[in-house]
């Protein structure tokens, strides 16, 4: 009986810690699912809490402000008629830094009166922040690959 009580107490103490732990693959999946589901809150939970992020669009525009990044993502998620499909090309996971290179097929049903399509590489870099993986770099590079 005492062993059972001790076991249950240990579970109550340590289980929440394990349940909250999300490794890099878990974080990457959460990040990409949030994009496909246009779930801003889930997306934001994977982004750095710092003031600076490197964000590069396929046209070369560069942003460094985390606040601007969030504004742009909120606006994008509010739009309808876009489709984000990807293939993970490569991942690297280190102790404090991890990266994922994706090949993205992005479509909009209507951009300026006609359908829009672009294939691009998406390079995501995450850094450990208080034990959690957080996005610090989001770079999009147009490609002809499909």
- Please choose, from the candidates 52, 44, 54, the residue with its C-alpha nearest in 3D space to the C-alpha of residue 74: 44
- Domain count for the chain, please give it: 1
- Give the three-state DSSP class for 134: strand
**What's the CA gap between 27 and 124, in Å, rounded?**
12
Is residue 5 one of the residues assigned to a domain? no
14 falls within a domain: no
Does residue 94 lie in a domain region? yes
86-143 pLDDT, tens digit per residue, is: 999 999 999 999 999 999 999 999 999 999 999 999 999 999 999 999 999 999 999 9
pTM of the model: 0.84
Q: With respect to residue 7, please indicate whether it lies within any of the assigned structural domains.
A: no
pLDDT, tens digit, 9 for 90 and up, residues 100-114: 999 999 999 999 999
Cα(76)–Cα(78) distance, integer angstroms: 5
**Nearest-angstrom CA–CA distance, 86 and 95:** 25
Residue-wise pLDDT tens digits, 49-62: 999 999 999 999 99
């Amino acid at each position: 009986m005492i062993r059972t009580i001790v076991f249950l107490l240990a579970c109550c103490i340590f289980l929440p810690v394990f349940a909250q732990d999300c490794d890099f693959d878990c974080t990457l999946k959460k990040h990409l699912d949030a994009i496909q589901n246009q779930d801003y809150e889930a997306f934001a939970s994977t982004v750095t809490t710092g003031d600076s992020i490197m964000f590069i669009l396929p046209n070369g525009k560069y942003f460094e402000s985390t606040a601007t990044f969030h504004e742009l993502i909120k606006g994008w998620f509010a739009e309808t008629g876009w489709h984000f499909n990807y293939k993970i090309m490569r991942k690297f996971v280190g102790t404090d830094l991890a990266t994922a290179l994706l090949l993205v097929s992005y479509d909009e049903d209507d951009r300026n009166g006609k359908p829009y399509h672009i294939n691009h590489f998406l390079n995501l870099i995450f850094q450990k922040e208080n034990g959690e993986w957080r996005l610090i770099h989001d770079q999009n590079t147009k490609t002809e690959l499909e």
